[in-house]
Amino acid sequence: MFLASAYRYRGHVLTVLLTRHGHTALSEPDTYLGRRIVASLSDEGRREAQALADRLTGVPLDRIISSPLDRTRETAEAIAAGRDVSVELDERLIEFDYGSWEGLTVAQAQERFPDQFALYDANPAIHHVGGGENGEQAAKRVSALVDDLLSWWAGEGDRTCLLVGHSSINRALLAATTGVPLPDYRRRFLQDFTNLSVLTWEDLDQGPLLVLLNDVSHVRGTTGNTWS
């Protein structure tokens, strides 16, 4: 449940909970899984998803929206279990298209494509990774999803939605919604497995408040903040 003090002065609020899928068997070493590599949750990933589900027990979720990939869908379904809400699949939350880098580890991509890697590292907003998608394209599609959520809420009552995505698309969403320059989305934001990040809107035109970012206290078994 939420601590009342966190909401003492609020009006009607749209709350967007954002998380990344759980650990997969292909998560180590760090790999560009993208959207074409089949990767289901590992046992560790299922434990992480359940830990987040347990943390959110008692938090009302009006909608749960997930990327359609197996690893995100499994995570979303673990959280939806026992709730009167179904998982909605939305292509706009799918991970970046990493093109020819998909399936490569970070070290392999850097070794095989050093010039491309340097361009990507310098400005991931405009560089098309492996000939695939760049940050600007990804931010555009996920921003359209956020716009749809704002229209769904429209300032009427309190509504809460959980988005289950991936590391890169989540960071692009956070940058686009909070006004962080898009070239910095990888540098300024982290999205660990089944983290909890929270954005709230009290006004359609003023943008969100970033209440919580990349909190994994539920996975580590520690007490982190006012969201329990």
- Nearest Cα to Cα of residue 18 among 148, 163, 184: 163
CA distance 58 to 71: 24
The C-alpha atoms of residue 157 and residue 212 are separated, in whole angstroms, by 22
Mark whether 128 is an active-site residue.
Answer: no
Q: Is 28 a residue of the active site? A: no
> Is the separation of the CB atoms in 177 and 188 below 8 Å?
no
The residue annotated as part of the active site, out of 74, 95, 102, 133, is 95
Catalytic residue (one of 21, 23, 128, 166): 21
Residue 74 to residue 39: CA distance in whole angstroms? 11
Dihedral (C-alpha) 180, 200, 93, 47: value to the nearest 10 degrees?
110
Active site residues per annotation: 21, 95
